[in-house]
A = this chain, B = another copy of it.
């Protein structure tokens, strides 16, 4: 079969499966997820053997030690993947919720009810655990999935997907509900993007290049985020110790992720707070790059920031700092540099906070809390398949509930249109 045929086959199998998946009960889907977890444990040896092929090929291809570590599976990691599936099974079921109901004048009862979207395509890189996480969240939400992992993990992904699909079918779920694209050709992504009759939405996970390629080619909606230019504004009325703690947490606790802060704005009327924050960060090993006024106002010696620094996602212990003269200036700067994921204001002035929370247009906006809290688990949404900085369908952490849409269920006794 050609690449086109193989991808189309996977996608059309998923479409067929999605028709029956919709009528399977919440209990049966949760039971299937538990059976899938157990099957991973039972077939751990086979999965690790398949992974060894990927590790060997990766070493030969000269993958970095970090890349090889991300790729590697052992008993402990397979167990973690299984536990993650069980946690998904335990989440509240997102399908069949009555989101709203009302009766119209002619007596017709209308309910807006949550239903699965249908078929979700997931395009991802390296880590083989994504295969199970993505399949688990799709099954939880009653969706079939088409998985397309990276070439470096192909043996691991095929092994995991086969174990999961077999266990799902044994638990009464339809064939094809966990479909995987069995080829590693680059063309496969392009084909997958152009099958609107089989795939309802695509979620790409990986580098910005991959995500842009998917978005430019897709004929179905793409739920995505490119990067996290997370920003914090420290207001004139900020509490000093609170500001130090929150900025420290947002930059230092885990700098390599999208909700870690990259740009800091400090009100010119708060030089003491600015100095306290900068000394704390320097002590923690952060390279502080300041605008000219920051350099001037700060007692310590710091690096001068370039314009480019305020548009760079470092994912590292580096922070760009700018002094502003007002909330208005901060809002302007934030709008100019935001990636739309998470932004925070630190202030004891409730009015300033309310304005910030209203006017900043990001998936999550914070008053006096760390941007690092932007996470499906922390938010109580459960496991997440990714994060969305898009402005349709779902925004922020994307969990099982965000993989549903609604239908209108209308119960009548003869109502007609007049």
In the complex, which residue of chain B has the Cβ closest to the Cβ of A223? B392
- How long is the Cα–Cα vector from A374 to B410 in the complex, in angstroms? 10
Contact call B23/A414, Cβ cutoff below 8 A: no
Contact call A414/B335, Cβ cutoff below 8 A: no
- How long is the Cα–Cα vector from A366 to B414 in the complex, in angstroms? 10
Partner of A378, one of B393, B413, B417: B417
Consensus secondary structure, chain A interface: mixed
For A362, the chain B residues whose CB sits under 8 A away are: 407
**Contact of A22 with B by CB under 8 A:** yes
For A395, the chain B residues whose CB sits under 8 A away are: 405-408
Contact call B410/A372, Cβ cutoff below 8 A: no
CB distance from A198 to the nearest CB of B (A): 12
**Contact of A365 with B by CB under 8 A:** yes
- How long is the Cα–Cα vector from A364 to B22 in the complex, in angstroms? 16
Contact call B414/A246, Cβ cutoff below 8 A: yes
Contact call A361/B22, Cβ cutoff below 8 A: yes
- How long is the Cα–Cα vector from A412 to B369 in the complex, in angstroms? 5
Contact call A407/B363, Cβ cutoff below 8 A: yes
For A246, the chain B residues whose CB sits under 8 A away are: 414, 416
**Contact of A68 with B by CB under 8 A:** no
Residues of chain A from 123 to 182 with CB closer than 8 A to chain B in the complex: none
**Contact of A237 with B by CB under 8 A:** no
- How long is the Cα–Cα vector from A19 to B335 in the complex, in angstroms? 8
For A117, the chain B residues whose CB sits under 8 A away are: 391-392
- How long is the Cα–Cα vector from A408 to B118 in the complex, in angstroms? 26
In the complex, which residue of chain B has the Cβ closest to the Cβ of A415? B369
The 7 tightest CB contacts between A and B, nearest first, are A369-B412, A372-B417, A249-B416, A221-B221, A369-B415, A393-B393, A364-B408
Residues of A within 8 A of B (CB): 19, 22-23, 102, 104, 108, 110, 115, 117-118, 196, 200-201, 215-216, 218-219, 221-223, 242, 245-246, 249-250, 253-254, 335, 353, 357-359, 361-370, 372-375, 378-380, 390-393, 395-396, 405-418
27 contacts between A and B (CB under 8 A): A19-B361, A23-B358, A104-B380, A200-B391, A200-B392, A201-B392, A218-B219, A221-B222, A221-B390, A246-B414, A249-B416, A253-B416, A253-B417, A353-B411, A357-B411, A363-B407, A365-B410, A368-B413, A369-B410, A369-B411, A369-B413, A369-B416, A370-B416, A372-B417, A373-B410, A373-B417, A392-B392
